[in-house]
Structure 1
Amino acid sequence: MKGIKAVFNKLLLLLLITVLGASCVSREKIVYFQDLEQQKALMDSIQNTFKIQPNDLLNIVVSAYDLEAVRPFNLISETRPTTGYAGLASGTAQQQNYLTAEDGTIDFPVLGRIKVAGLSRTELSEMLVQRISEYVKDPIVTIRIVNFKVSVLGEVARPGTYNVEGERLTLPEALGLAGDMTIFGRRDNVLVIRDNGGSKEYKYLDFRDSDVLNSDFYYLQQNDVVYVEPNNAQIQSSSFNRNTSIYISVASLLLSVLVIIFR
C-alpha cells in the first residue's frame, strides 16, 4: 500500500511540475522593443518610403485661386441637370479617381499619359505642380491613396484584410488593427511580404528587438502581408485532439482522488 501511495505522490508531483513549467514564460520571449533606449537616436530618422504602385487608386485634386482655370485638370463626373421641385434644375458633380495601370501610368486631363509608379505622393505632387504651372498660376495639387490595404494573418486576434485611410501605416499599427498577436504568436519571427514592382520581397522581424523600428518594412506599403508564426507550443497542440485538455483535467482529478484514497 505504501508503495502504491508513493507512486501516486510522485505522479502528482510530476504533473504539478509540468503545469508550472509550462506556465512560466520569460520576459525576453514576450515583451516588444526590449532595448528601446539603445535605438532612441535612430528613431528620429525613420521615414515613410511609400511608393505608388500599379493598381493603386489615386484621388488627385488640382486647385488654385482661379478655380475655372484648373477645372480642365480635375477629373469630374457630372450628371445632367434635371427639373425638380418648383421647377429648379439640379445636378451632381463627383470627383473621380485615377486607377494606376499595370505599366504604372495614369491618363491625366490635358497632360495625357504620365508615369506615376515608383514615385512618392510628394514627388508626384511636385511633378504635377511643375507641369500644370505652364497653364495655371500657382496651382495646388493634393493626392490621396484611396484603396490602401494590408493583410494580417496568423496568430493575431482578428486576422483579415484591412483598408486604411491614407498611406501611412506602421507594422505595430497593422497588428493593432488585427487585435495584436495572441500569446501563441512568435514575437521573434514576424514575416512581412511585399510586392515590389512585380517581384516579391520579404523580411522576418524580431519584435523583441527595438531595431525593428529602423527596418525598411516598419512602414507598410500597399498590399503588404503580415504573417505571425505560431510558436512551438501552438504547433504541437494542433496535433492533439480538441478535447485533450479536458482529458488531462479529468485524469488529474482522478489521480488526486486516488492519492486521497490510498493516503
Structure 2
Amino acid sequence: MRVKYIITIGIVLLILSGCNRRSQLLYMKDLNPAGEELVAKPPQYKLQPGDLLFIQLITSSPEISQAFNNPAGSQFLTRTQDESSLYFNGHTLDAEGFVTLPFLGSAKLEGLTLDEARSEIRILTEKLFKDASVVVKLANFRVTVVGEVRQPGTFRNFNDYLNIFEALAQVGDISENGNRKNVLVVRQTDTGSKTFRVNLNDKSVFTSEAFYLLPNDVIIVEPIGNKIFQMNVPYITLTFSTISTLILLYNFITRL
C-alpha cells in the first residue's frame, strides 16, 4: 500500500509539473476568452545625433530628382539594401543634430519626429521646387535579441513601429527554456541606459513602455529556473560523487 501511495503522489506531481510548464509557455494567458480590446499607443520617436536617415526627393523632373538622390536613393528603402549601401548613401545627423542635403543646405532635425522632419525638409525644398515630394525613413532602426531565443542576433526593422512580439518572432520566438515572465529590455537614452521588465504571460504587457520598441533596444531573455538547474546538474552530480568517494575512502581507512 505504501508503494502505491508513493507512486500515486509521484504521478500527481508530474501532472501538476506539466500543467505549470504549459502555463509558463502561454502568452497573455489572462486574456478574456470571450475577447477584449487592448490598446497600446505607438511612441513618437525623436531623432537623435547619429541617426541614419533615408531621404528621397521626388519632383516632376527626373534629372533634378536624380541629381538630389544618390544611386541607392533612386529607389525606396527595401529589405534588399545592405548595411553598407544604407551607410554610404544615407544622411546622418551630426553631433549638433543637423543633416546636410545636396542643394538644400542644412536642417536641424534633432528632437523631431519623422513627420516633423519631413515637414522641415519640405520647407527647404519649396524654395527651389514647388512640386517636390519628400520621403523620410529611419534607416538605423535595429533591435538586438539575445538569451533564450531560437536565433539570437541583431536585425533591422523596415516599419515605422515594432512591438516586442514582432521582434521575438524575428528571432524564432523564445525557447522552451526562456523566462517569459521577466523579459529584460534595455533602452539607450540621452542620460544613459534605461531598463524595463516585461511579463509576456500577462496582458499588462500592452501598457508597458517597452511594448513598442525603439531603435537600438536590446531584448534579453533569461533562462527559467529549470534550465539553470539542468546546467548545474553535472556539477551537483560531481560534488555528490566526490563526497561519496571521500566517505567510502574514510570508512575504509578507519577500518584498517
Q: State the TM-score, normalized to the length of structure 1.
A: 0.70
Distance 2:106 2:185 in 1: 33
Choose 96-105 or 58-67, whichever is displaced more.
96-105
By percentage of residues, which structure has more strand?
1
- Name which structure has the greater RCO, CA cutoff 8 Å, separation 6+: 1
Does residue 51 in structure 1 map to residue 46 in structure 2? yes
Distance 2:190 2:101 in 1: 22
Preserved contact between residue 152 and residue 178 of structure 1 (Cα < 8 Å): yes
CA drift at 1:52: 2.7
CA drift at 1:77: 6.0
Q: Percent same amino acid among aligned pairs?
A: 28
Q: Which amino acid aligns with 1:51?
A: K
Number of the residue aligned with 1:249: none
Preserved contact between residue 170 and residue 219 of structure 1 (Cα < 8 Å): yes
Structure 2, unpaired ranges of 5+: 73-87, 238-256
Preserved contact between residue 167 and residue 222 of structure 1 (Cα < 8 Å): no
Number of the residue aligned with 1:63: 58
Distance 2:161 2:113 in 1: 12
Aligned length: 221
Q: Which has the larger radius of gyration?
A: 1
Does residue 146 in structure 1 map to residue 160 in structure 2? no
SS at match of 1:226: strand
Number of the residue aligned with 1:189: 182
2:70 paired residue among 67, 76, 92: 76
Q: Which amino acid aligns with 1:194?
A: R
Does residue 240 in structure 1 map to residue 233 in structure 2? yes
Distance 1:157 1:14 in 2: 35
Distance 1:210 1:164 in 2: 24
Q: Which amino acid aligns with 2:184?
A: L
Number of the residue aligned with 2:162: 169
2:125 paired residue among 115, 123, 132: 132
Number of the residue aligned with 2:25: 30
Residues 111 and 50 from structure 1, CA distance in 2 versus in 1: closer, same or farther, beyond 3 angstroms? same
Preserved contact between residue 107 and residue 114 of structure 1 (Cα < 8 Å): yes
SS at match of 1:106: strand
Distance 1:119 1:137 in 2: 23
1:101-120 matched pairs, under 5 angstroms: 101-120=94-113
CA drift at 1:19: 4.6
Structure 1, unpaired ranges of 5+: 1-5, 79-94, 245-263
CA offsets, 1:44-96, max 9 Å, x none? x6224233333332110011224455566x24369xxxxxxxxxxxxxxxx92
Residues 71 and 160 from structure 1, CA distance in 2 versus in 1: closer, same or farther, beyond 3 angstroms? closer
Residues 39 and 136 from structure 1, CA distance in 2 versus in 1: closer, same or farther, beyond 3 angstroms? farther
CA drift at 1:128: 1.0
Residues 158 and 242 from structure 1, CA distance in 2 versus in 1: closer, same or farther, beyond 3 angstroms? farther
Distance 1:132 1:238 in 2: 61
Residues 114 and 182 from structure 1, CA distance in 2 versus in 1: closer, same or farther, beyond 3 angstroms? same
Number of the residue aligned with 2:89: 96
Q: State the TM-score, normalized to the length of structure 2.
A: 0.72
CA offsets, 1:2-45, max 9 Å, x none? xxxx7x878767765665554331665332123445994451x6
